[in-house]
A and B are shown apart, each in its own frame.
Chain A
Amino acid sequence: MDAALIAALRNVLGEAGLVGSGSRLVPYESDGLAMLRHTPEMVLLPRTTAEAAHSMRLLAEAGVPVVGRGAGTGLSGGATPVEGGVVISLARMRDVLEVDPAGRLARVQAGVVNADLTRAAAPHGLFYAPDPSSQMACTIGGNVAENSGGPHCFMHGSTTRHILGLVIVCADGEVLDLSEPQPDPSGYDLIGSFVGSEGTLGLVTEVTVKLTRVPPVTETLLAVFPGLDGACDSVSDMIAARLEPSALEILDRLTIQAVEASVFAAGYPKTAEAVLLVELEGSALEVDVTSKDVLAILEQRGAIELRKARDPLERRKLWAGRKGAFGAMGRIAPDLYVADAVVPRTKLRRMVARTAEICRERNLRLATVFHAGDGNLHPNICYDRRDLDEVKRVLEAGRMILQECIAAGGSLTGEHGVGLEKLEGMDMLFKQADLATMCRMRDAWDPERRMNPGKLLPVRACREVRTNPLPGVEARDAAAGAES
């Protein structure tokens, strides 16, 4: 990178705000999808919006690509600087700026860790509802960029439903202050269309979030099943019966074993083929009424054991197992491929079974843990990256799973984002015109496409969009067109 530019950046950020070379760049080569890596030319660590904006202006003048980065826990290669350039890390922007209990909102710098926000809200009887399993590490900025979900998003909704305001540094360094909370956006919904844009439209430096009141009563149930089918069918039945638990999470046998052998051991029965965690929130009566209906479904679908958490400690333990599941899987395989497909909730059982079949056919070990209530599957395929043939089979299985989910009316990603990893899959789901329309939105924000280039949209050259729709998708769209 140009020496004058480096000097100018150093002037803005100070020595501690620049990581320029050597092994200190290594952690910024990838996010949680470690199989795809690229070294950035430099890492910048601003402390304020003003510093970030000033740096962005300098980078804009020099035409340098910019990749925003939170904690790097992303699982789709979103923070990997695949086209080089500069990574801007929010690691030094970790202040909770304001908690307003009366307005039930908080204003934070984008580098604040998700769990720290809930910790700051707790003394006021409030919490921040989106709870990715990575919440002990991931940042609110990263959550905004990915529109992250979490177990309790089944009831409370993904990140987008909790964002009241943003401060965004645009590609040219302009600061767009959308932080004042409004009940409805005045003009186009810039915030709503920005959330989930995976760092390709701008850099978020501050976030105003909605805080939720801690429910009067929370009840956590653990249902043990002799197979995944019963667990999946229970969830589909609950949705069809229009019951409203706050979380519905399934773990399969291999995951249970990994969890139970780890520090996250939750007391799940080690021989169980599947467990379903159900959480209910509301008034004591609401919880009681729903709980009866839930228990009836679980029994009818063949649960062999039903356990209610007796106290907050037991409840926390049951959740620690679920939230620590990805970490625990490190024990059963050197590498893990975490897929993130989503299907209609009526198709859970079929798709979970089909996923297992696809892995079995390729002699791959599969551990499944997922947000069942939202139809958000996470087939985790175990592999060893040194075994090239296995890597090939894993990628093939991943592709097959996504194809089948799409054919079943599903989608590529429920919460981890497209990033780098699912770029190729975008044309299975979208036609050229759909993607070109998204490109138009991107161009309005960042005409030079310097923000996180090479992500989310399969754009190779200036306006070329690669598409190769599945024959099934074409046929279905044609049929829909004819019907209408």
Chain B
Amino acid sequence: MDLHAQLTQVVGPGELDMWDGDAGGNLPRVAPNNIDEAVECLRLAHSNGLAVIPEGLGSRRTWTHQPKRADFVLSTRNMRGVLSYEPGDGTLSALAGTTCAELEQCVALGGHRLTPDLPRPQAGTIGGAVASGHSGFDRLRVGPLRHHILGVRALLGDGTLAKSGGQLVKNVTGYDMHRLYCGSFGSLCLLVEINLRLFPAPEEWAAVEFHAESRAQAAQAALDLEEMRLPLDAVLIQSPTDTSVRWTVLAFLSGRRAVIDVECDRVHSSLSDSNVKLEMQRGTEARSKREQCRDLEWDEQAGWAHLRLGVHPTGLPALLEQLDTCFAGSVAQFSIQPLIAEVQVRFEEPLTDTQAVAVHDRLLASGLNFHWRAAPDSLRSQGDIFGSAPTGIALMQRLQSTLDPQSVFARGRYLTGL
């Protein structure tokens, strides 16, 4: 029986289509309806020496390399639903194929907000978010996503279903395997269930916007806001656009209404002291401004390349210094979150292969920590879109080969061949 027929036997004909993605053209994509079917698909791969690309909705397809070899795509898109939401405990358990938007809606009913607060939450699954270690727009407030994963259930390459952690906000029983899986881009396991810690939904939102003459001035303004110890969710600096020559500073606040009222007044008087013209929004307007900025972070217009740079905040000045050199000659837009020292770079025009390679080489030489998120195909198939190899690569390889000795999860998609 050919692979197509075997996969159809497991999931039924409706759940198999063709995926015109990587690794030399079309691949069958199978979307099991439950964990048992996913186990069967993996066992099939395991016993036939096949290589599998795990996927959610495929929204981050360009965030990894093209694999060395792949035989089929295993999508969690049909494994969706909330398994339990405990408003009284502030925890959530969901199948990995559930979209972040569905989860946001679910937990809003109990007065919570979902972390990670990701761009285009309807386009990605929670499993994909965790597998790519994608922290959200609320990172300044709550820290990275990996801190809020309470536990997972995952399928290993041989179809073994293994749990790690639980659904408790505090728990040190056993190794935190979920920390290893978070950000492993499907190179170790297929995540099938995710348990998360939730945060209170704020009573009120505020958005503050003003302009600065230079990047340095904008960065200083952000630091000044931090010094004021405001209830900040995010502070963003945007590079000048076609219509403006100035840098834009955006600060998003949220919290108890009485607190936001007073804090907005404080921001207002502090900035008007320094003669800065300020726009301030509250409530739903502030929220939609925030969502707009959040979604910009991951605007996948065709042909646009997009990359993320990150350093520990101590390295921010050096990072800002290096931007001009690294991106000289390309039309790049920068969204900088200075308080978490993260820079999103979007190219306003498609990069030619030569331009992409030139930027890539300069980034490598600069020693910056970077990840191409919508990488040109030339880089995805040759370079290392995850930047320089980190310390501990030999250990990472051992971890991969002990957890997936038969290379069921397609190799070469993650950094340095993992």
Show the binding face of A for B, using Cβ within 8 Å: 100, 102-105, 146-147, 149, 153, 157-158, 160-161, 164, 170, 176-178, 180-190, 192-193, 195-197, 213, 216, 236, 239-240, 242-244, 283, 285-286, 289-290, 342-346, 371, 374-376, 409-418, 422, 426, 429-431, 433-438, 440-445, 456-457, 480-481, 483-484
Contacts and interface: CB of A to CB of B under 8 A. Distances in A.
A484 B35 CA distance: 7
B168 A216 contact: no
B168 A189 contact: no
Contacts of B200: 242-244
Contacts of B255: 286
Given A102-B314, A239-B88, A186 B369 contact: yes
Nearest to B193: A484
Interface in B281-331: 310-314
A190 B399 CA distance: 10
Contacts of A195: 176, 179
Given A158-B172, A184-B310, 14 more contacts: A100-B314, A153-B170, A184-B135, A187-B386, A188-B396, A189-B179, A189-B183, A196-B176, A283-B229, A286-B231, A342-B170, A412-B173, A456-B175, A484-B192
Interface string B166-182: 11111111111101101
14 contacts: A104-B313, A176-B392, A186-B387, A187-B392, A189-B146, A189-B179, A189-B180, A193-B176, A409-B168, A413-B173, A434-B164, A434-B174, A435-B174, A438-B177
Contact of A183 (B201, B262, B310): B310
Contact of B173 (A289, A429, A444, A484): A429
B50 interface: no
Dominant SS at the B interface? loop
Contacts of B357: none
A239 B144 contact: no
A103 B313 CA distance: 6
Contacts of B396: 187-188, 190
Contacts of B349: none
B176 A160 contact: yes
A445 B395 contact: yes
A426 B163 CA distance: 13
A433 B162 contact: yes
A190 B146 CA distance: 12
B87 interface: yes
B146 A437 contact: no
A345 B88 CA distance: 7
B146 A192 contact: yes
A196 B182 contact: no
A411 B176 contact: no
Interface in B364-404: 369, 386-393, 395-396, 398-399, 401-403
Interface string B253-283: 0011011001100000000000000000000
B391 A178 contact: yes
B412 interface: no
B147 A157 contact: yes
A317 to B, nearest CB: 27
Interface in B125-177: 133, 135, 143-144, 146-147, 156, 160-164, 166-177
B112 interface: yes
Contacts of A434: 162-164, 174
B35 A481 contact: yes
A342 B91 CA distance: 14
Given A100-B314, A158-B172, A426-B174, A239 B90 contact: yes
A344 B167 contact: yes
B86 interface: yes
A38 to B, nearest CB: 23
A436 B135 CA distance: 30
A158 B179 CA distance: 14
Contacts of A181: 312, 314
Contacts of B161: 433
Nearest to B310: A183
B256 A411 contact: no
B153 to A, nearest CB: 9
Given A181-B312, A186-B386, A456 B262 contact: no
A182 B312 contact: yes
Indicate the member of A157, A197, A285, A430 with the most B CB atoms within 10 Å. Answer: A285
Contacts of A158: 170, 172
A186 B177 contact: no
B16 interface: no
Contacts of A236: 88
A145 B401 CA distance: 25
A413 B168 CA distance: 11
Contacts of B193: 484
A107 B292 CA distance: 39
Given A192-B146, A239-B89, A411 B168 contact: yes
B89 A346 contact: yes
A430 B192 CA distance: 17
B45 interface: no
A394 B34 CA distance: 44
Nearest 3 Cβ contacts at the A-B interface:
A192-B179, A103-B314, A242-B200
A240 B173 contact: no
B33 to A, nearest CB: 9
B12 interface: no
Interface in B93-140: 95, 111-112, 133, 135
Nearest to B340: A183
B216 interface: no
A164 B256 contact: no
B167 A484 contact: no
B342 interface: yes
Nearest to A410: B168
B83 interface: yes
B208 interface: no
A75 B167 CA distance: 24
A289 B258 contact: yes
Nearest to A208: B312
Given A102-B314, A239-B89, A289 B172 contact: no
A346 B256 CA distance: 24
A187 B144 CA distance: 15
B36 interface: yes
B170 A414 contact: yes
A437 B86 CA distance: 28
Contact of A437 (B36, B95, B147, B160): B160
Contacts of A457: 174
B312 A164 contact: yes
Contact of B175 (A182, A343, A438): A438
B170 A149 contact: yes
A344 B91 contact: yes
Contacts of A480: 83
B312 A178 contact: no
Given A103-B312, A183-B312, A433 B170 contact: no
